[in-house]
Amino acid sequence: MKIILASNSPRRHELMKLLNLDYEIQASHIEEINDLSLSHEELVMDLAFQKANAIFKDNKDALVLGFDTLVIIDDLILGKPKDEAEAKHFLQILSGKTHKVLTGCAMIKKGYSRSFYTQSLVTFWDITEKEIDDYIKTKEPMDKAGAYGIQDHGSIFIKSISGDYFTIVGFPISRINQELKKIL
């Protein structure tokens, strides 16, 4: 069966390789619809499903995997920053506090659809304005939910995590492996 990763994230691509499956990448470029009546958990699964389903519509013979990651603090969703000012604002909000990271996963093939999410908690050290400014200069925060990447330069801000590290990266590989064993 053809397997499609509906994501152009280099991090997800690298982790998908570890599953030793033949797959291809087809990024979905849909306009995400945020149904604000949903809980955060339902929303992240719905967004992952939207991405997977957009690719599945033209690939009915494939298993399509879609993902979405949300960073949430005090009930506020911090998405990918629109600009450097918003990235700085997000990092100031996260400084010295604990936030939640949810990664939604959707798996769709003919006659089968499954969505789930994983959750981790991340606590930041207090970070200075200079540290934030220096980090923003790397451009790394600009394409990441919450304006940081735990797997790169953003790792220096992390005091502790509770849960699966790979949820924070956006690809909870062990859970995905368990789910794939049920359907492949």
Residues annotated catalytic, as ranges: 68
* Residues β-bridged to residue 120: 101
CA distance linking residue 175 with residue 65, whole number of Å: 13
Spatial separation of the C-alpha atoms in residues 165 and 167, rounded to whole Å: 5
β strands within 15-157, DSSP E: 24-25, 62-73, 76-78, 98-109, 112-124
- Look at phi and psi of residue 163 and say left if phi exceeds 0, alpha if psi is from -120 to 50, else beta: left
Query: Distance of CA 34 to CAs 46, 59, 97, 141, 180, Å?
Result: 8, 24, 26, 22, 27
> 108 CB contacts (<8 Å, ≥6 apart)?
49, 52, 53, 56, 63, 64, 66, 114
